[in-house]
Structure 1
Amino acid sequence: MTSIVDMLPKPFLVWWAARMAAETAVGNLAAVTAIAERDATGAVDYLRHAHARYTKSRAKVGSEAHDLFERMMRAETIGRVHPDLEPYREGFAEFLDVVRPELVRAEDIAWSDTHEYAGSFDAILRVRLGEDGKPDHVSGEWHTLIVDWKTSKSTYPDVALQMAAYAHADKLIAPDGTTEPMPEFDGAAVLHITPDGWEFLPVRIDAEVFDIFLTLRKVFRWDREISKTVLGRAIASGVRRLVTGTQRRA
């Protein structure tokens, strides 16, 4: 599923990667100069992989935070956590206190036989909301939501494509291999947590959004399958450079 959403053009990533390389160079001038004096290629590689190192470190924090969130949702006793994770623990604890969600499922697979895709979702939650869409633990109505945790710097619109795909899948698959139909959802939401705070944001997952995902599914098939079949063998060709008899005998 992630590979399908990645078919969406993201030209800003080019400029982001370039900025990461520039910031790394400016912030480490002495080190980069020292490396370049011994190994120019190594210095270039150090700078051009700056964005990949950052992404890898953020992915590690994200994975550890997701694991922490699931344990907290399941009411496990959480002891001391690494200082890097403490802001996320505090934010998630506050979210649980303010929203009071009920866990339905977590970290299962959403599977679509109809459209041939699959992906692991973070959680299905039941939350009690008032007419204004805010938590109402007294007279609010229960809503079943497909929910995603995000620990990145920002939340981007393409999360709606991912969540629409989850919600419109045919079935979910548990870790033990058992399956059941995907439940009906009243909506979707993303919990965006950073060291500075958190937001629980509603996300559109309607037919229009899902149709965009299905378009990307077609682009994915083009990229991975059809594009490899459209060019045949040459019907005719020409050679501009003369090959002499002496060269052929050699």
Structure 2
Amino acid sequence: MSLKFSEKAHRYWMDGKPVRGATTLIGNGIPKPALMPWACKLIAEWVEANPLEIERLRASENRYELVNTLKGLPNQKRDTAGLRGTAIHDMGEKYLAGLEIEIPEEHESEVMGLARFIEDMKLVPMIVEKSLGNREHWYSGRVDFIGTSPFLNDGEPVLIDWKTSNNVYGDTALQCAAYARAEFWVTDEDPDTEHPMPDIAATYVAHITSSGVYLHPLAANQVEIDKHFTDFLHAAHTAKNAETRKGYLGEPIYTPEGFKK
């Protein structure tokens, strides 16, 4: 067994062992100070907009129903956005493969914008929606697009990450660097056959919005990719050592009963 990916659980197994994805390591290794204010604002806006539902929940015999409902709103919002992103990614993959796609009305502007971007940039795919692995640093990932464009880096292979979120951030550079420095890639149909990674000249993030696609450069060359990869390794180290840090705290040597020799 080489590298297997469960789309439903969004989990990876490498050589039969669980392995964390690059995005999970980055998320657990780098603080996100904007996340808590966003969640508080989301809950406050929902409360303001749903007074009758709040009263219904407050009157429920289950004393925790109101708390659980409010607590779950950020995750619900995240999961809905994730389903939207997955759908757009899937349609983009099919378009690149030359397959016919049916575009739901709610995704029409984003998918049409992505199709226009692909055509305008004359993208030629090499690796699309495939799992990547790195044994040395023990991580995995799922790359959106590796390929070429006559308008990017003299037609050399580049890595582009599709993002359907409201905004894009610099942390994506770490994710793309981790993918660029993977040791191999596999197909879902044959996860035991490892294919070597091509040399990646640069990394980009394509922000897919209802008004079209905005392509942002991340790493302009391999030197910058290596720099971003070093940052990724720092984040991964912090994430992987979360359990170890719990052991840094010893038992109290002084209590209200006095000093323990």
CA drift of 1:13 comes to 0.4
Q: Secondary structure at the match of 2:156?
A: strand
CA distance in 1, matches of 2:100, 2:169: 32
Deviates more, 1:6-15 or 1:83-92: 83-92
Which residues of structure 1 form unaligned runs of 5+?
A: 134-139, 241-250
- 1:50, 1:228 → 2: CA distance? 29
1:78 Cα deviation after fit: 1.8
Distance 2:240 2:72 in 1: 29
Query: Which deviations, in whole Å up to 9, do the C-alpha atoms of 1:122-153 show, x marking residues without a partner?
Result: 11111112xxx6xxxxxx93121111111111
Question: What code does the residue aligned with 2:173 have?
Answer: A
Partner residue, 1:15: 37
How many residues are paired up?
228
User: Residue by residue, what CA displacement relative to the aligned partner does 1:21-51 show, whole Å, maximum 9, x if unpaired?
Assistant: 0010011112212221235532222222211
Larger radius of gyration: 1
Name the SS for the 1:153 alignment partner: coil
| Corresponding residue number in structure 1 for 2:237 | 218
State TM-score, norm by structure 2.
0.80
CA offset digits 1:138-182 (Å, max 9, x no partner): xx9312111111111111111001000011122222221211221
**1:188·1:203 contact (CA, 8 Å) conserved in 2?**
yes
Counterpart contact for 1:2–1:162, Cα < 8 Å: yes
Secondary structure at 1:106 match in 2: strand
1:79-90 residue pairs with structure 2 within 5 A? 79=102, 81-90=103-112
Match of 2:215 among 188, 196, 200: 200
Correspondence for 1:4: 25
Of 113, 130, 144, the match for 2:157: 144
Is this contact kept in 1: 2:131–2:140, CA < 8 A? yes
Counterpart-to-counterpart distance in 2, 1:38 and 1:172 = 51
Higher RCO (Cα < 8 Å, 6 or more apart): 2
1:20-39 maps to which residues of 2 (within 5 A)? Answer: 20-39=42-61
Which residue in 2 is equivalent to 1:160? 173
TM-score normalized by the length of structure 1: 0.84
Corresponding residue for 2:66?
43
SS at match of 2:106: coil
Contact 1:148 1:190 in 2 (8 A): yes
For the residue of structure 2 that corresponds to 1:203, the secondary structure is strand
CA RMSD in angstroms, aligned pairs only: 2.0
CA distance in 2 between partners of 1:187 and 1:26 (Å)? 46
* Mean Cα deviation higher: 10-19 or 43-52: 43-52
Structure 2 equivalent of residue 179 of structure 1: 194
